[in-house]
Structure 1
Amino acid sequence: MVTQTPPPSTLAGRSGQNGRGQNGRGQNGRGAEPSARQVAGRRWRSARGVVAVILAMVVIAVILAALRPSTSPQALDPTSPKQDGSRALAEILRQNGTPVSVARHADDAVRQAGPGTVMVVTRTERLTGEDLTLLSAARADLLLVRPTSFALADLAPRVRKDGPTFEDADEPGCSLRAATLAGPVALHESETYDVTGSVTECYKTEYGSSRVVQVRNVANTVTVLGSASPLTNERLTEEGNAALAMNLLATTGTGAASSVVWLVPDMPEDGAGAGQQSLGDLLPFGVKLFILQLLVAVLLVALWRSRRLGPVVAEALPVVVRSAETVEGRARLYRAGHARDRASDALRSGSRERLVPLLGLPRSSAQDPSAAQEIVSAVAHRTPYDETYVGAALYGPEPLDDAGLIALSDVLDDLERQVRQS
């Protein structure tokens, strides 16, 4: 059987571990294996930069989450004198002739409201599906303060949340009278909204989303306020906050408001309102930022540690390996993978490489498909076989089984012998 010795570069890695020397004994071409402490130290030195970056991101996210103001149970309550309460605004409205009543349940608010009434809807995360259905059928105008995604879907379906922003609002940039009279306002942290259809948008961000949106329906007007700051005792005196809050509450879509119904729903006893908040509503902004930073860090680590495939590098073998051993090792791999196609290609390629110099042809023609007919004709002229037989041997299909592969090697060996003897 005629065999071909594979090039040393393809076997450098394997032979360095399992090869034998000329004296038949195993040789270890490597030095002493590093200790576990050395390996751990090397891994730590290579990864400490990434670990430091991830820890820095965690610290920043924790700080941002800690700086986020917490919401008290009395937030936006018109009877609460606390900083996040709304007692000051309620008293100003009463002093200017607009009655303010407080409701703790959606059905009470709907009974008190009527045409010419503005209903302030706060803490929408406490509202159940039945509450939202009642509010959607109310005849009063609605002012939704930082509503959840579920509340928007039922009460203002043309408005959807886009994300938070921390920039103060400059000029309103809209025709809404309540906003144009107020001018610049200090909204601080505010939700932004994207809209569809004919909707009035005010206090837009640089990305085009709005902080205040008003939707005019057939029966009423729904105004969405992305920030609670204009209604709180702490922020009421900043910029045009008081003017914006009073103008939104003291006027309806058709004129001056006859009264204000302030809905601050109690927490449902069975906790049914908790389901009205989406996962995005429940997560603090700092947690969202931390998740985003963590995803970026994982992506960067994956790119840094990914395998970079380059060209094959030829290396000198650390030991001398007998050609018979390398051929036998490769043959076992071919047999284990049932790769008769690769084995037959290797046999035919090696035979052509050895035949073309004997035929007086250039070595480049051995692997040139356009020179196949020339090689077949030359071999057939130097042997007793016809061109069909020679072509099948040098360029034929894959053998069907191992016996056919052995028969092919015998045929190729016979062709080489005939050409050498001619």
Structure 2
Amino acid sequence: MVTASPPRGGAPAAEPSARQVAGRRWRSARGIVAAVLALVAVAVALAALRPAASAEELDPESPKRDGSRALAEILRRHGTPVTVARSTGDALGAAAPGTVLVVTRTERLTEDDLARLSSTPADVLLVRPTSFALDALAPQVRRKGPSFDGSAEPGCDLPAATLAGKVAFHESDTYEASGSTACYGTDYGGARLVQIRDGVHTVTVLGATAPLTNRRLTEEGDAALAMNLVGAGSSAVWLAPGLPEAGAGAGQPSLGDLLPFGVKLLILELLVAVLLVALWRARRLGPVVAEALPVVVRSAETVEGLSRLYRAGRARDRASDALRSGARERLVPLLGLPRSSAQDPSAAQEIVTAVARRTAYEETYVGAALYGPEPLDDAGLIALTDVLDDLERQVRES
């Protein structure tokens, strides 16, 4: 047998290196990675929109912007004594019927603290409580959601609200409860201020901290509302608890309390997007339906169109698979083998051996041409085309 030299263009394909494989995988996945990073960046930006509370927020002895020293001093000057308590025991010891117990920073309260506060005879004012504190001290009230509207009118007959008039709440929580007095409602339902009667005392839930802070006290009717709520009794006991011991906190914020509204909205948008993508992809399930073309397209135009699509998408893997599959489909009848063996992996060695016997190439070379890896570049794809054409020509002439 005469051994012919390999055709121009060299070997049909070479094994891709690990670096090339990694680069190809990166090119195919970089779009998804970029989208995920963009979503993470948006989530971080939305989370940053909600400023973190300082350690002295709503502290009646703090002169800082988010402290409440100004309100406490105003109340004292108007004849309402304000007692500052740093623990639940001190607050309960000073609270009595006719006293308003202001409870702030409920994330610092333990389960035992919440249970003891629920039995106080004093009227309770909860300032933006956590979900745990709301369940323990005002179980009839349900948190509805956040609100970012600036100001609101009372819209109720509660004297503390009607006398204050319009109030600037800024960021706040909204609530709903049956049998309660609800004030400062929003367009989406819920109220920023609700008051219920619970046994021997009333519980008022205020969904915003702004009306009590030094920074916002001069806005709209914030000072009037704060004075009317805190100074509604003969005296006020202001519970500003310190940090509990490690592992003892029960009134700490839940995951829903910690997540800003923007992050919740982003999660909802992602869920809707995933659902829409799932529905879109579901339309493609099921058997392929063959339809007659509306016009007759010449085979040369079809081949040229497909080749341009392969080239635009750099789909050398699919192009090489299509070339090899077509070559095997044409070679199998010439070799006297069943047509079904052209795409049967188990018949690959039989086809390679039969082609090698009728051509001038060795089995290794024929196997690389008919079943090898994808070409590394366009020049390798063209060389593969020449090799397959030469194999088919030699088999026909043999």
Deviation at 1:225, TM superposition (A): 0.3
The answer as to 2:214 corresponding to 1:243 is no
Partner Cα separation in structure 1 for residue 109 and residue 34 of structure 2: 44
Q: Hey, what does 2:390 align to over in structure 1?
A: none
Deviation at 1:88, TM superposition (A): 0.3
Q: Hey, what does 1:176 align to over in structure 2?
A: 158
Secondary structure, aligned partner of 1:201: strand
CA, structure 1 residues 222+305, in 2 after alignment: closer, same or farther (shift >3 Å)?
same
Deviation digits for residues 80-99 of structure 1 (CA, Å, limit 9, x no counterpart):
00001000000000010000
Q: Hey, what does 2:284 align to over in structure 1?
A: 308
Deviation at 1:250, TM superposition (A): 1.6
Moved more, 261-270 or 81-90: 261-270
Deviation at 1:103, TM superposition (A): 0.5
Deviation digits for residues 290-310 of structure 1 (CA, Å, limit 9, x no counterpart):
444544554555566667236
* Contact 1:102 1:263 (C-alpha < 8 Å) held by counterparts: yes
* Contact 1:57 1:294 (C-alpha < 8 Å) held by counterparts: no
Deviation digits for residues 377-414 of structure 1 (CA, Å, limit 9, x no counterpart):
xxxxxxxxxxxxxxxxxxxxxxxxxxxxxxxxxxxxxx
Q: Hey, what does 2:148 align to over in structure 1?
A: 166
Partner Cα separation in structure 1 for residue 340 and residue 73 of structure 2: 96
* Contact 1:126 1:267 (C-alpha < 8 Å) held by counterparts: yes
CA, structure 1 residues 148+46, in 2 after alignment: closer, same or farther (shift >3 Å)?
closer
CA, structure 1 residues 271+135, in 2 after alignment: closer, same or farther (shift >3 Å)?
same
In the alignment, residue 133 of structure 1 is paired with which amino acid? A
Moved more, 281-290 or 103-112: 281-290
Secondary structure, aligned partner of 2:139: coil
Partner Cα separation in structure 2 for residue 156 and residue 280 of structure 1: 18
Matches within 5 A, 1:94-243: 94-195=76-177, 197-243=178-224
* Contact 1:76 1:228 (C-alpha < 8 Å) held by counterparts: yes
The answer as to 2:104 corresponding to 1:91 is no
Q: Hey, what does 2:41 align to over in structure 1?
A: 59
CA, structure 1 residues 218+45, in 2 after alignment: closer, same or farther (shift >3 Å)?
same
Q: Hey, what does 1:281 align to over in structure 2?
A: 257
Secondary structure, aligned partner of 1:144: strand
TM-score for the superposition, normalised by structure 2:
0.65
TM-score for the superposition, normalised by structure 1:
0.61
In the alignment, residue 213 of structure 1 is paired with which amino acid? V
Deviation at 1:39, TM superposition (A): 10
Partner Cα separation in structure 1 for residue 197 and residue 151 of structure 2: 23
Partner Cα separation in structure 2 for residue 162 and residue 44 of structure 1: 45
The answer as to 2:51 corresponding to 1:69 is yes
Moved more, 260-269 or 274-283: 274-283
In the alignment, residue 288 of structure 2 is paired with which amino acid? P
Partner Cα separation in structure 2 for residue 67 and residue 314 of structure 1: 54
Secondary structure, aligned partner of 2:194: strand
CA, structure 1 residues 204+51, in 2 after alignment: closer, same or farther (shift >3 Å)?
farther
Partner Cα separation in structure 2 for residue 136 and residue 119 of structure 1: 11
* Contact 2:47 2:259 (C-alpha < 8 Å) held by counterparts: no
* Contact 1:79 1:86 (C-alpha < 8 Å) held by counterparts: yes
Partner Cα separation in structure 1 for residue 79 and residue 192 of structure 2: 28
Instruction: Compare CA radii of gyration and give the structure with the larger one.
Output: 1
* Contact 1:183 1:240 (C-alpha < 8 Å) held by counterparts: yes
The aligned length equals: 296
CA, structure 1 residues 289+327, in 2 after alignment: closer, same or farther (shift >3 Å)?
closer
Partner Cα separation in structure 1 for residue 215 and residue 41 of structure 2: 29
